[in-house]
Every structure is written in C-alpha cells, then in structure tokens.
Amino acid sequence: MKSWLTTTDHKRIGLLYFFTAFAFFLIGGIEALVIRAQLAQPNGHLVTAETYNQLFTMHGTTMVFLALMPLSASFFNYIVPLQIGARDVAFPRLNAFSYWVFLLGGLFLNASWLVGPLFHAGTLNVAPDGGWFGYANLTERQFSPGPNIDFWLLGLQILGISSLAAGFNFIVTILNLRAPGMRMMRVPAFTWMTLVTQFLVITAFPVITVGLAFLMFDRFFGAHFYVHEAGATPILWQHLFWLFGHPEVYILILPAMGIVSDVLPTFARKPLFGYTVVVYSGVLIGFMGWGVWSHHMFSVGLGPIADSVFSATTMLIAVPTGVKIFNWIATLWGGDIRGTTALHFAVGFIAMFIIGGLSGVTHASPPTDLQQTDTYYVVAHIHYVLFGGTIMGLFAGIYYWWPKMTGRLLSETLGKWHFWLQFVGMNLAFFPMHFIGLLGMPRRVYTYSPELGVSDLNLLSTIGAFLIALSIFVFLVNLLRTRTHGQRAGNDPWGGATLEWSIASPPPVYNFSVIPTVANRLPRWKTEHHEPMRDPPATPPAPIHVPGGSWWPMLAAFGLPILALAPLTHTLWLALVGAAVLLAGIYLWAFEPFEV
Amino acid sequence: MTHAASAAAHHTSLGLDSRKMAFWAFIGSECLLFTSLISTYLVYKGKSVVGPYPHEILNIPFTSVSTFDLLMSSLMMVLALAAVQRGDMRWGKIWLFSTALLGLVFLGGQVIEFTEFVHKGLTLQTNLFGCTFFVLTGTHGAHVSVGVLWLLTLWVRALQGKLTQANAMTVEITGLYWHFVDVVWIVIFTVVYLIQ
C-alpha cells in the first residue's frame, strides 16, 4: 500500500492513471446513460431541467478532462519510457505529483454531486451546470449564484496544473532520455504524437488558466472581465476558451492517432507506410491546431474576413489528417493481417474518424455551420471524433499493451464481443444524431416535443447508448477474467518492432537490464536492410539503482484542493493552510535526497 | 543531488541538462500565460465606462525607478551566477541576497503603487482598467514574490554551506526564471505605462 502511495515508478503511475481514469470514464458514462434515458421519449420526466444541465456539463467535463486525457496519460506513462529505452521519466516525483493532482482535482469536481447539503441545497443540486465550455456571461455570479460554477472553474484550475506538470516532464523525457542511437526519426509514432500533444498542452493550458482566472476574479472579487455593463465583452471568454479548446481537441485525438500508428504495422507485419509523413503531419496538425479556434464561433458574427480565414484554415487542417488516414490504409494494404481485437479497434478508429472528420469539414463552411450550431448534428460530430476516434484508439491501445502492462493477454473472444457491441452501439447511438440535429432538435435542452418528429430516432440513439454500456460491461468482465484466466503473454505476444517488446511483461522495475543501442526504426524486426536487435538479458549484469518512493509530491498535491476550498467556502484560513501544505510539500521534496 | 545532476547532464540525448530543458519549456508556457493577460489588457484598453483612466493615475517617474530597480536585480543575478560558477561563494552569497533585496524593493514599490491607486478610487471592481491592470501586474508581482522566496532559499542554503559551485546549474535555472520575469516586466512597463 505504502509503496503505491509513494511510488515514482512510471509503470505504477501509469496503472494508477489507468484505473482512476477508467473509474471516471464509468461515471461519465453513467451520466450519459441518464441523459439518454431522459431523451428516450418526448416530454421525458426522468430528471428535471436543472439536473439535466448538471448531467451534460459533468458528462462533457468528465469525459474530456478526467477520462480521455488521463487514459492517454496512462499510456504516456507506461509506454513512452519503454519505447525510447529509458529507465523512467525525466522527473519521477513530478510525475507522481501530476497523478495526485489529477486524482484530487477529479474528486473535487465530482464531490459537487454529493455536497449540496453543505451549501444549503439538496444533493444533485450544486454540480457544475454551465456546459463543459462554460460560456460567459452565463457563468457570472449574477446569473449563476450557486457554487456550481465555482466547483467547475476551481476543479479545472487544479487539473490544469496536473496536465502542465506532465507536459514539461514528457517533453524532456522524450527529447532527453532516448537510448543511444534512438534518433528523433527513429522514435515510434506513438511517442512522437505524445511529444506533439505535450507541446500543445503546455501552450494551450495557460490560456484557459487565464480565462478561468478572470472568471474567478469576477465571481469571487467583483471584477468585470465578462460583464457587459462595465464595457466588457463576453466574447473574450469564447476566444480564450477556444484558443485552448481547439488545441485541446488535438490533445485528445493525437495520442489515439499515435496508438493506431503503432498497432497497425504490428498486425499487418509491415512498417508504417510513410512514417516520416505521418510524423510531420502530426507536427503540422499541432501547429495548425492553433489557427482554427474561431470556427467554434461562426455564430458570434465575427465578420466576413474572420469567417473566411477560419473557414479556410479549418478546411486546410483536414489535409494532414487525411494524409494520415491514407498512410494507415496503405499500411494495411498488402499486409499479412492478423485480425486481433486491437486491430479491430484500430480499423474501427479509422472508419469512425473518417465519418467524424467529414462532418467536421461541413462545420468549416460558415453558412452550413450556422444551420448546425447548437443542434444535435454537432453532438454527432464530436462523438464520432472523440468516441469513434479517441475511445476506439484507446481501446486499441488497451488490447495491444495490456499484456505488456500485466503479463496476461485479454481474451480475444470477449474482446471481439466488446468490439462489435461497441461498434454497433456507437453507430446506433450517434449516427441518428446527425438527422436529429438537422431536423431541428437543439442540444442541451432537457426534452423535446413529439411534434418535432425525432422521437423514433431518439429512441434508437438511446438503445445504442445502452449497447455501448453493455460492451463496456463485457470489457470489464474481460479485465477481471484476465487477472486469473488470462493467457501468459511472455515478452512479446504480437511480434512487435519496438523496444517495449524486448523486455519482460510486466517489465522489471528498472525496465531494461542493459540500455539497448538502437540502430534503426524497427529494431526488433528483420528487414532487407538489417537483422533484429538482440533483446536485453533477463537479469541485469550489474546492479541497477532504482529511486525510492516519496511522500512529498502527494503532500504538495493536497495543498491545491485545500487552496481551492478557500474561495468555495469563503474561508481565508483554508487558503493559508493550503498554501502552507503546498509550500511544505515543495520544500520537503526539493531537499529530499533522491537519486534518479 | 550533485552527483545525480552531473550524471543526468552526461547521459541526456541532447546534451542539455534535463532540469534546464524543463525550465525552458516552462518559460515557453509562461509566455502564453502573460500573452493572454497582456492581450486582454490591450483588447479592453479604452473600454472602461467610468474613471479613473490610465492617464489620470499612472505614475511613470515612480514606475521608471522600480523598473530600473528590477533591471539592476537582473545584473545582480548575472553576477551571482558568475560568482557561484567560479566557486566564489562569498560573493555568490552577497549577489544572491542583493538580487532578492532588489526584488523586494520592487514588490514594495508595487505595494505603494497599488495602495495609492486604491486611495484614488481604482480597485479591481471599479472599471475594466482596474480589472486588467491589477490582474496583469498582480500576476507579475506574484511571479516576483516566488522568485524572491526562491532566491532567499538559495541564499540560506549558501549560508549553510549546502549551495556550492557544484550547484551552479540550480543558480543558473533560478537566473533563467528571474530574467524571464524581468523581461515580462519590460513588456508590461512599455505596454501599460509608456504607450498610453
């Protein structure tokens, strides 16, 4: 127990990230199921409008910040050091700090479901209810007097610190801790996409930090950053939010693209087609992701010039994305394909992401976008991209790397059931939303009337959502069953080309008994140009120093939610306690003898 | 720590100290933070519906002095690093303390300035100028405060004999932060005070 609480081992932190994020994924999923149950029939009355607002806000916020990002982070943690031939990340304790801040931030946000009575309100009354995008000036104290938005903005500030700390850590890890011979253009595609993602994190998160700080000053200290009467414009929030929010979309999708770029070659027994182009497309997406934010704001009326520019950049960013899709298809083409569950999910990712990408291009045109804004069409689009894309990609990664992480293979039979249920379920749930939206049903409204003519489509969508839930249940059964019945994986159950497959599953605490020397991009494969590398010996020839654990990152992390409680409860001494805990954690951490 | 630091410096792929690289990434991130704050200040410039307005209240001569003070603190920082790098801890201690002291003087100037503005009726709640001014310069002041705390910590460690030539990289990174905070102030001074 203590060894898990104080761990600085990237593999353990990766597992902690996985289980925590998966728990939040289930919570976000339950929120989605309640939403779909409410919308199964017209004039539904399962929940009130107020509860519904909290449900869709927490569903979006949870899935983006507490499920998808940290599920990707679990692979950054577990897999990246293994892929580059490192013993750990560059700053193991900072890594532990990132995890604890994420856990505490997630608990802080979700506590809002339960603590209503402390704020003289019922349970299920004080959860955030302003949408995951929290548009000003609805979020001002005048229009949202309760603690709901406070939970949201303080929770997101805490989570931002976790992401930023991890961002610096992984940039340095990938650039600086590569094994000898592992040049940048030999780094596996997943690690490359991780690097691009972390650059997006460290540049995008400060912008939302400032936007949220303004909101904090407005709500707690009577400032007027988003108050129209004072001459301010609420559009400022939209700019700051989407300047962060659009890079965030790529923060969510690039890791999944990286996973798929590693899974496809393994199961097609072919090198990734156009590796260099895939890498450069990822980098280009990272850059261009900064130039498209106002396509979320066409309905604001920014004028023809801004609309035209952002329309053009949005269509342009589809080019590098399309390039990647063709590369993946070309990787499969003529390959010696093994239809594993991981490959099913990877191919499912490509197909679903193409649909999401196509509907995305339709938003790029301002006239059509104006028809689609705030309708279910947009909900269909983001779910094809984030569920069909990111979640499918992440599951490809889970089936691919679970044997590496636990030493046991997930059941392929249950895996196929999981895949097909999820694939059918998601298309049933999200495809009708295109029509529901175009027929005029607005999003974020808790019910609809039978005259709108979308009742059957909504019922279909709800059935699809419950099919997805069933598929996740199958996956959980698979996880549990694998603990005891899973087939032993050995070092390399798939015949992978990259370094993580050259060591035991799960890897020893020091990862590599001898740091490998890398001579090419596919070190473990025999190609016409080279022989496969020799795997490191099972036992280290010389003793390896492994850093011990530390309590202080966790102590420092605890300072943040205490600090956040101060404005929430209007208690000054809590701020002093929080600052003291944070400072104590940082100083003890800095002066602790710790050798990496 | 010393041993680990030197070992890390020897084994990195790019030959750059990992902590230093992380700090450059951090500074890149901070640039976006201050860019957002300064952009907001510019977007809201002239949009206040009630006074006091910037030209009525900003005291350029006074702030020029604190700007000069902060610039000099950067000079002290350079001298501190040079002293530590050549192993001259006597001067290292003196310059580290001087840097922190000049930082404290700057913060004192900010306290005086803020107090005076509040007396003249400019608060966070008054108008958009108040909002953007206090949050921008306040964020910068918070950064200076962190820097002062950091420098004083190094100074105390040096007094205890625990900060030596072997920790020059630690001082160099502190310097990176300090110079960055200084450069940000140059931009704020120009944008907020000089170009009204």
Q: How far is A203 from chain B (nearest CA, A)?
A: 5
Q: What is the pLDDT of residue A529?
A: 85
Between CA A9 and CA B11 the distance in angstroms is: 19
Cβ of A171 within 8 Å of Cβ of B135? The answer is: no
How far is the C-alpha of A360 from the C-alpha of A94, rounded, in Å?
Answer: 37
If you measure CA to CA, which chain B residue comes closest to A206?
A: B33
Q: How confident is residue B2, by pLDDT bands cut at 50, 70 and 90?
A: very low
Phi and psi of B87, rounded to 5°? 85, 15
CA distance B115 to B111: 6
Q: What pLDDT score was predicted for residue B9?
A: 42
Contacts of A161 in chain B (CB under 8 A): none
* CA-to-CA separations, A294 to A297, A372, A542, B196, in angstroms, rounded: 5, 15, 57, 29
CA A267 to chain CA centroid, Å, is 25
Question: Could you say which DSSP state residue A124 is in?
Answer: T
Task: Taking residues B40-57, report their average pLDDT.
Answer: 93
Q: Which of A428, A456, A426, A427 is nearest to A441 (CA)?
A: A456
Confidence of residue B4 (pLDDT cuts 50, 70, 90): very low
A408's enclosing H/E stretch is strand A408-409
Q: Which of B47, B70, B84 has its CA nearest to residue B187? A: B70
DSSP secondary structure string for all residues of A467-522: HHHHHHHHHHHHHHHHHHHPEE--S-SS--SSGGGGS-SSPPTTS-SS-----SSS
CB of A479 closer than 8 Å to CB of A413? no
Taken in order A349, A353, A355, A356, is the CA torsion positive or negative? positive
> Per the CB < 8 Å rule, is B21 touching A175?
yes
Burial class (CB in 10 A: 0-12, 13-18, 19+), A449: exposed
Decide if A201 contacts A233 (C-beta within 8 A). no
**Among all residues of A, which ones are annotated catalytic?**
59, 88, 132, 162-163, 246, 248, 250, 261, 295-296, 321, 324, 443
Nearest to A90 among B18, B32, B139 (CB): B18
Q: Do A171 and B1 touch (CB under 8 A)?
A: no
Q: Show which of residues 143-182 on chain B sit within 8 Å of chain A, judged by CB atoms.
A: 153
Distance from CA of A284 to the nearest CA of B (A): 19
What per-residue string of b and e applies to B115-138 under the rule 16 or more CB within 10 Å gives b? eebeeeebbbebbbbbbbbbbbbe
Contact residues on chain B for A207, CB-CB shorter than 8 A: 32-33, 36
Residue B187: CATH number of its domain = 1.20.120.80
Cβ contact, residue pair A231, B21, below 8 Å:
no
Q: How far is B112 from chain A (nearest CA, A)?
A: 21
Query: How many domains are contained in chain B?
Result: 1
Tell me, yes or no, if B195 comes closer than 8 A to chain A by beta carbon: no
Q: What is the pLDDT of residue A545?
A: 86
**A240: which chain B residues are within 8 Å (Cβ-Cβ)?**
36, 40
Do B128 and A232 make contact, defined as CB atoms within 8 angstroms?
A: yes
Task: Kindly identify which residue of chain A lies nearest to residue B136, measuring between CA atoms.
Answer: A210
Mean pLDDT score of chain B: 93
Does B25 touch chain A if contact means CB atoms closer than 8 Å?
A: yes
pLDDT of res. A596? 67
Structure tokens given for A80: 């990246």
What pLDDT, on a 0 to 100 scale, did the predictor assign at position B6?
41
User: What is the rounded CA–CA span in Å between residue A393 and residue A428?
Assistant: 19
- Best CA proximity match to A150, nearest among A570, A453, A478, A481: A570
Burial class (CB in 10 A: 0-12, 13-18, 19+), A538: exposed
Which residues constitute the domain of residue B59?
A: 2-194
**Nearest residue of chain A to residue B35 (CA atoms):** A207
Contacts of A30 (CB under 8 A, 6+ apart): none
Q: How far is CA A89 from the centre of its chain?
A: 20
A442 three-class SS? strand
Residue A573 in tokens:
């001494």
How many CB pairs below 8 A link A and B? Answer: 112
Helix axes A189-221, B18-43, angle to 10 degrees: 40
Q: A-side interface with B, Cβ within 8 Å?
A: 90-91, 164, 167-169, 171-172, 175-178, 182, 202-207, 209-211, 213-214, 217, 221-225, 229-232, 236, 240, 243, 587, 593-596
Residue A375 φ then ψ, to 5°: -110, 175
Q: Which of A555, A496, A231, A471 is nearest to A343 (CA)?
A: A496
Using an 8 Å CB-CB cutoff, list chain B residues near A209: 33
How far apart CA A278 and CA A535 sit, in angstroms, is: 27
Contact A540, A513 (CB under 8 A): yes
Q: Which amino acid is at A192?
A: W
Q: Does B40 touch chain A (CB under 8 A)?
A: yes
Cα–Cα–Cα angle for A264, A286, A56, rounded to 5 degrees = 85
> Taking Cα atoms as reference points, which of B71, B84, B58, B96 lies closest to residue B181?
B71
Give Cα A2 to chain centroid, integer Å: 28
Give pLDDT, residue A562. 97
pTM value is: 0.96
Distance CA A92, CA A97 (A): 9
Chain B residues in contact with A202 (beta carbon < 8 A): 25-26, 28-29
Pairwise CA distance, residues A81 & A512, whole Å? 10
Residues 6+ apart with CB under 8 A from B46: none
The encoded tokens of residue B164 equal 């030596």
For residue A442, the cross-strand partners are: A375
Write the ipTM.
Answer: 0.94
Per-residue pLDDT of chain A (596 residues; tens, 9 = 90+): 789 999 999 999 999 999 999 999 999 999 999 999 999 999 999 999 999 999 999 999 999 999 999 999 999 999 999 999 999 999 999 999 999 999 999 999 999 999 999 998 888 899 999 999 999 999 999 999 999 999 999 999 999 999 999 999 999 999 999 999 999 999 999 999 999 999 999 999 999 999 999 999 999 999 999 999 999 999 999 999 999 999 999 999 999 999 999 999 999 999 999 999 999 999 999 999 999 999 999 999 999 999 999 999 999 999 999 999 999 999 999 999 999 999 999 999 999 999 999 999 999 999 999 999 999 999 999 999 999 999 999 999 999 999 999 999 999 999 999 999 999 999 999 999 999 999 999 999 999 999 999 999 999 999 999 999 999 999 999 999 999 999 999 999 999 999 999 999 999 999 999 999 999 999 999 988 888 999 999 889 999 988 889 999 999 999 999 999 999 999 999 999 999 999 999 999 999 887 76
Per-residue three-class SS string for B131-171: HHHHHHHHHHHHHHHHHHHHHHHHHHHHHCCCCCHHHHHHH
Residues 6+ apart with CB under 8 A from A307: A294, A298, A366
Q: List the one residue out of A457, A262, A304, A435 whose CA is nearest residue A359.
A: A435
Strand partners, A488: A408
Helix, strand or coil, per DSSP, at residue A141:
coil
The whole-number pLDDT of residue B3 equals 42
Nearest CA-CA distance, residue B154 and chain A, Å: 11
- B13 to chain A, closest Cα gap in Å: 4
Element holding A103 (H helix, E strand)? helix A92-111
Report the amino acid identity of residue A389.
Answer: G
Residue % of chain B over a pLDDT of 70: 95
Tokens of A424: 């059918």
Q: Which of A321, A335, A327, A322 is nearest to A261 (CA)?
A: A327
Q: Is B169 a residue whose pLDDT tops 80? A: yes
Q: Which of A394, A500, A353 is nearest to A75 (CA)?
A: A394
Do B29 and A178 make contact, defined as CB atoms within 8 angstroms?
no
pLDDT of the residue at B12: 86
